[in-house]
Amino acid sequence: MVLGLVGMGDCWRLAHKAWDMPEVIGLVVMLSAFVVWFVLLVLYVGKWIWARDEAIAEMRHPIQSCFVGLAGVATMLAAVAIGPQAHDLAVVLFVVGAIAQVAYGVYFTGGLWMGDRDLGTATPALYLPTVAANFVAAFVAGYLGFIAVGGLFLGAGLLSWLSLESIVSHRLAFHLTLAAPLRPTLGIMLAPPAVGLIAYMFLTGGVEGAAPDLLSQVLLGYALVKLLLLLRLMPFILKQSFGASFWAFSFGVTALAFDAVLFVIRGETGYIQWVAGLLFLLANIVIAVLVIGTVRLLVAGRLVPAPLLAPVPVA
């Protein structure tokens, strides 16, 4: 949830620069994202204090464990949310989040390398502990001016992505079909190229950089193909009723819109002018639907699922 809200806030920040859109919208979205991050962090710490068995079961679950590392990722993005207003605090949050994501990524991947896992558990959530986490660390490092450190994170995220892409694609194509509750995780497939592109562009000039180079075009092209694939799969995915899991789409969609608007700001012309507008509109629609759906579930008391102490079906 935090990832998508910060992504949307970032889009509005760029839209203000590119099209003179109202700056206050980005400020409000970023403030909301920071508040949501803080509340969720407190709740997660409380989970380890008052529901320790459930937290441990989550850490040991072959699929749910992938999401644990998002605590560090969300903390780094909270740094982006408050960066313009509190730079020093943003640096602290980045350092804490980066250390947390590296520690968990190493712990998680070490467990993977011990083997004895069913291929059916290789969902797109596998990207989160190492790919998404390191790409976000690279982006935030570039955003805060730590270019050399950001390059290290970009390398870690890029090569982790390349190693996992074929594994996840093989599982999706040649293993049993994803069970309906897991299908929203397909939204994560959009994030690696889109977020990786943000990281790369912020390490090579950021908002003030030169026109996008060939590698930037390559990553944008792959991200656009992933978006088209997800649109083709929506009837398959929507067999699962709406839940918090649909926030898996939010980060990739907002990151792709961010990429396109950043292309415009950095001087790209032609097709990207209207593509950026369409993607920005799509991102706003997706986030609005997710927020409205989430509020409805919260009011109905159905937002938080029952404790997961056993594996969910994978097929």
Tell me, yes or no, whether 305 lies in a domain: no
DSSP state of 210: -
Which pLDDT belongs to residue 116? 86
What is the three-class DSSP state of 132? helix
**Is residue 306 domain-resident?**
no
Could you write out the DSSP letters of every residue in 83-116? TTT-HHHHHHHHHHHHHHHHHHHHHHHHHHHT--
Mean of the per-residue pLDDT values of the chain: 94
- Mean pLDDT over 76-98 rounds to 97
Residue 310 pLDDT exceeds 50: no
Checking if the pLDDT of 314 tops 70, the result is: no
What pLDDT band is residue 193 in, cutting at 50, 70 and 90?
Answer: very high
Residues spanned by the domain of 175: 2-300
For residue 261, is it within any domain? yes
- For residue 315, being part of any structural domain is answered with no
Residues 6+ apart with CB under 8 A from 309: 53, 54, 57
Q: How many residues does the chain have?
A: 315
The answer to whether residues 195 and 136 touch, using CB atoms and an 8 Å cutoff, is yes
- The owner of tokens 């920040």 is 13
Does residue 192 surpass a pLDDT of 60?
yes
Please report which residue ranges of the chain form alpha helices under DSSP H: 2-19, 23-50, 52-60, 65-68, 70-82, 87-113, 133-144, 147-174, 191-202, 214-237, 250-265, 271-300
pLDDT at 302: 84
| Assigned domain for 45 exists | yes
The answer to whether residue 308 is domain-embedded is no
Tokens for 309, please give them.
């102490």
Express each pLDDT in 196-224 by its tens digit: 999 999 999 999 889 999 999 999 999 99
Counting the structural domains of the chain, the total is 1
Residue 306 clears pLDDT 70, i.e. is over it: no
Classify residue 310: in a domain, yes or no: no
Q: What is the pLDDT of residues 241-251, one digit of tens each?
A: 999 999 999 99
Burial 299-312 (b: 16+ CB within 10 A, else e): eeeeeeeeeeeeee
CATH number of the domain encompassing residue 222 = 1.50.10.150
The mean pLDDT of 65-78, rounded to a whole number, is 96
Q: Can you give the pLDDT at residue 312?
A: 47
| 89-105 pLDDT per residue, tens | 999 999 999 999 999 99
pLDDT above 70: residue 309 = no
CB 77 within 8 A of CB 140: yes
119 in any annotated domain: yes
